[in-house]
Structure 1
Amino acid sequence: MPVSNYKDITYEVGANAVRITINRPEVFNAFRTQTVEELIDAFKRADEEKSVNAVIFGGAGDKAFCTGGDQKVHMSEDGLYGPRGLVGLPIEELQSAIRDCRKVVIARVQGFAIGGGNVFCTICDLTIASEKAQFGQVGPKVGSVDPGFGTAYLARLVGEKKAREIWFLCRRYKADEALAMGLINKVVPHDQLDAECETWAAEINALSPTAIAIAKRSFNADSENIRGLSYLGIAAVKGYYQSDESKEGVKAFNEKRKPDFKKFV
């Protein structure tokens, strides 16, 4: 896929990092099938880029890094996003592409990192956030869940109790709270975010790319079983997305009302 053909993202090779940016600020950088397909291609392209050792992964605009799946296109005629992947979009392939990329992937979070956006921050190697950033999950509010890296791997980062709190209460956490729980690496003033990301990328770019790749694969090996859990879990989520209970969450979100899940239990 030529870079010029990207519709939902931008791709740029800089002095110290590849910059991959979700370019859908009008929907707070929520992703649809097109977005996920382009991101998979971009991370595979970045994996082969020899001039830099890092990827800076961000979202366009000033309000959001990413707010997860685009609920307005979530339900197609068959009850799913589209024709690809276990749940209609290949989210499991994107998560693997981020983890398998030999570069150090830095999440640049300037605003909301909610739902699938929070999962991206969990999966990325490093996360640098503006003081204006907010993190959290909304899956159980909208009839969705990430049954792999977004849950099991999250618990490795922030601890079992905190991970369960994040998913079972669906609260939002400010950047300093996310730093304290171990979800992110650093918080900086909003106007210093890009400079800080570039500084980290420059430090990484001065190092041995092979040593970095080996280190990353070693870190990943310790949690590789979660990839298997993710594929099994997403297979279960496929059936859940086809249920009336899950559809109620999406409908309520789009109709801007409180969902009534209990009537389907």
Structure 2
Amino acid sequence: MPNERTYKVADVDTEWRGDALWIRLNRPERRNAYDAPMAAAIGAALEDAPRARAVVITGSSGSFCAGGALTTLSRPTTGEMRALYATSIRLFDAIRSCPRPVIAAVNGAAAGGGNELVVACDLAVAARSATFGQTGPRVGSAPVTGATNVMGVQIGEKRAKELALLCRRYSAEDAWRMGLVNAVVDDDALEDTVDGWVDELSALSPRYLEITKISSNIWWNAARDSFSTGVGMLVQALASPDLAEGATAFLEKRRPRFPPPE
């Protein structure tokens, strides 16, 4: 068992809890949305995973993750956006290539890239108050790093397109019925439930769990090229008025007024 310790890097708290490495996103003022340094810190924390039996990713202050931080999207630079997109891909790849099972303990809103973070994790347990949904077209973007490809394998193409295109919000029970999460529990039982799942995993062979996990990445690997293609398209669209209007409307908490199609 690893030594018990905690540490914090770039708005990410890491804690050893028994056999599990808990990674907690901790930027509550922006609902744990990640920027490039924060995404990189989560990926760096996963480098400790081989010493654990399982990894748990969760959020702080009643939020799971609101995806990529939108604070500069109304005035984006190509470099900033390339960095954010690239670190998103690296983060999700780090979860998928992690030799240990990664459990999403969804303690609040999982929106946009936060919903894709759930898609990337191997297992997901949701608090009853948690919500799920994509935000891309609503904020002048597109969810190309999981929601437009891998999520269709997990919950079916029509349902995945519903989430990606309509940008609705779904309850934890909705997410369970769709197959986006494995279980829904009362809010105050979330962490104890996840601890129980870790105990189950700890009784199994880590070597053969790793083989099982990495072998299950066949559909993720097949979709991997579409991530890069989608990100390339997003970077090319940085100067579009849709992106500026979507991000500005989000920050101003109003309905966006997108220009009509050309």
8 Å CA contact 1:146, 1:234 repeated in 2: no
Aligned twin of 1:248 = 245
Aligned twin of 2:159 = 162
In the superposition, relative to structure 1, how do residues 257 and 222 fare at CA in structure 2: closer, same or farther (>3 Å)? Answer: closer
Q: Residue type of the partner of 1:23?
A: N
In the superposition, relative to structure 1, how do residues 77 and 164 fare at CA in structure 2: closer, same or farther (>3 Å)? Answer: closer
Does residue 200 of structure 2 align to residue 197 of structure 1?
Answer: no
CA offsets, 1:8-45, max 9 Å, x none? 10111221210011111121111111211101111123
Aligned twin of 2:101 = 104
Runs of 4+ that moved beyond 6 A: none
In the superposition, relative to structure 1, how do residues 159 and 83 fare at CA in structure 2: closer, same or farther (>3 Å)? Answer: closer
SS at match of 2:83: coil
Aligned equivalents of 1:27, 1:199: Cα separation in 2:
30
Aligned equivalents of 1:126, 1:206: Cα separation in 2:
17
Aligned twin of 2:58 = 58
Counterpart of 1:145 (choices 126, 133, 142) is 142
Q: Compute the displacement of 1:83 (Å).
A: 6.4
Q: Residue type of the partner of 2:191?
A: D
Q: Compute the displacement of 1:82 (Å).
A: 5.6
CA offsets, 1:170-198, max 9 Å, x none? 11111111101100000011110010000
8 Å CA contact 1:36, 1:94 repeated in 2: yes
Name the % identity: 35
Does residue 72 of structure 2 align to residue 73 of structure 1?
Answer: yes
CA offsets, 1:137-176, max 9 Å, x none? 1111001112242221101111111111111211111111
In the superposition, relative to structure 1, how do residues 129 and 4 fare at CA in structure 2: closer, same or farther (>3 Å)? Answer: closer
Matches within 5 A, 1:122-137: 122-137=119-134
Q: RMSD over aligned Cα, in angstroms?
A: 1.8
SS at match of 2:216: helix
Aligned twin of 1:235 = 232
Q: How many positions carry a matched residue from both structures?
A: 257
Aligned twin of 1:185 = 182
Q: What runs of 5+ residues in structure 2 fail to find an aligned partner?
A: 1-5
Aligned equivalents of 2:137, 2:76: Cα separation in 1:
22
Counterpart of 1:20 (choices 15, 23, 27) is 23
SS at match of 1:13: strand
Q: Compute the displacement of 1:4 (Å).
A: 4.7
Aligned equivalents of 2:219, 2:109: Cα separation in 1:
29
Counterpart of 1:115 (choices 89, 112, 116) is 112
Q: Residue type of the partner of 1:61?
A: S
8 Å CA contact 1:74, 1:80 repeated in 2: no
**TM-score, length-normalised on structure 2?**
0.92
